Amino acid sequence: METVILAEPEWRARSLAHEARVNALVGDHLSRRRAGRAHPVHDFLFTYYSFKPAQLRRWHPGVGVALAGSPPHASWSGYESGADGVRVGRAVVERRAATVDWVRGLLAATASRPAHTGCFGLHEWAMVYRTSPGDVRHEAYPLRLGHAGTDEVVEAHQIRCSHFDAFRFFTDDARPRNALTPTRELQPSLEQPGCLHAGMDLYKWAYKLTPLLPSELVVDAFELAAEIRELDMRASPYDLSGLGYQPVRIETTEGKREYVERQRAFAERGAALRRRLLAATA
């Protein structure tokens, strides 16, 4: 791979722009965390996903890029200094090779399949199916249709969730209602590009490959995940109107139509991001 050398003014400008961009994205979360307040939509990006705001804020140029001058990266783990500047070390590249191969395999397999857009976000409904008050994940927010109404929606639909990390949160009563039985081992053979969680997880695969990828790509994935998460929760059984989220009523024909339109748009954006991740790890 031919090395790209960034002069100090260039990499400093990119680093500062990256930090400002991330600060704007994580500022509300950090304020809530200091105040001890939780948010059922946006906190997901920092609780379910393990990348901390400070980690997201740290700028990396990616493999094949050397930073001239005196970058702070020289003292960071995983970097090495050479005649042309400071870069991600060869040892890190070699150590992460197996992870890169697995992620590439999953992304390529997902990209090879058509997008299925008929799930209507029922995974969130299956997570509270046949529960009682006090048993739901977001107890601070009521179910729009109540427990009985939520159960009726689940029972009136065929659930076809292909994503293991959503399926594993289904209630015991909901699991047999799913047309598939996703497992971690089956993930590369079941993941499909229309799945909202597969789109959000592009962020996970991007940050898991840090520092091999340019941080701008990781933040692009974060922004997509944040937008998808909003649809995910607007289509959920929870009433989040008090937070400014009007529901996508997937129990209705109009709601289903709206959900599918948004889902297809996210699938297209996810496909483009997936191609960028594959190109960056080639």
Poorest-pLDDT segment among 28-42, 49-63, 126-140, 245-259: 126-140
* pLDDT at position 133: 78
Predicted TM-score (pTM) of this structure: 0.95
Are the C-beta atoms of 52 and 46 separated by less than 8 Å?
yes
Q: Is residue 235 part of a domain?
A: yes
**Tokens representing residue 245 in the block:** 């989220």
Surface-to-core class of residue 172, CB atoms within 10 Å of its CB (0-12 exposed, 13-18 middle, 19+ buried): exposed
Mean pLDDT, residues 19-48 taken together: 94
Poorest-pLDDT segment among 135-139, 150-154, 217-221: 135-139
Query: Binning pLDDT at 50, 70 and 90, where does residue 172 land?
Result: very high
pLDDT digits (tens, 9 = 90+) for 92-112: 999 999 999 999 999 999 999
What is the percent of the chain with per-residue pLDDT over 70, rounded to a whole number? 99
* pLDDT at position 42: 93
Q: Give the domain extent around 109.
A: 4-116+187-280
Query: Binning pLDDT at 50, 70 and 90, where does residue 87 land?
Result: very high
Q: DSSP label at 243?
A: G
Q: Is residue 202 part of a domain?
A: yes
Distance CA 274, CA 199 (A): 9
Q: Is residue 124 part of a domain?
A: no
Q: Is residue 194 part of a domain?
A: yes
Query: Binning pLDDT at 50, 70 and 90, where does residue 139 land?
Result: confident
Q: DSSP label at 281?
A: T
Query: Binning pLDDT at 50, 70 and 90, where does residue 1 land?
Result: low
Kindly give the interhelix angle for 196-208 and 215-234, rounded to the nearest 10 degrees: 150
* pLDDT at position 132: 84
Residue 136 has pLDDT above 80, yes or no: no
For 43-79, the DSSP string reads: THHHHTS---HHHHHS----TTEEE-S--GGGGSTTE
Residue 258 has pLDDT above 80, yes or no: yes
Three-class SS of residue 86? strand
Overall domain count for the chain: 1
Bridge partners of 179, per DSSP, are none
Q: Is residue 272 part of a domain?
A: yes
Residue 24 has pLDDT above 90, yes or no: yes
CA distances to 118, 123, 124, 146, 254 from 159, rounded to whole Å, are: 9, 8, 11, 20, 19
* pLDDT at position 140: 82
Three-class SS of residue 184? coil
Q: Is residue 168 part of a domain?
A: no
Q: Is residue 142 part of a domain?
A: no
Query: Binning pLDDT at 50, 70 and 90, where does residue 238 land?
Result: very high
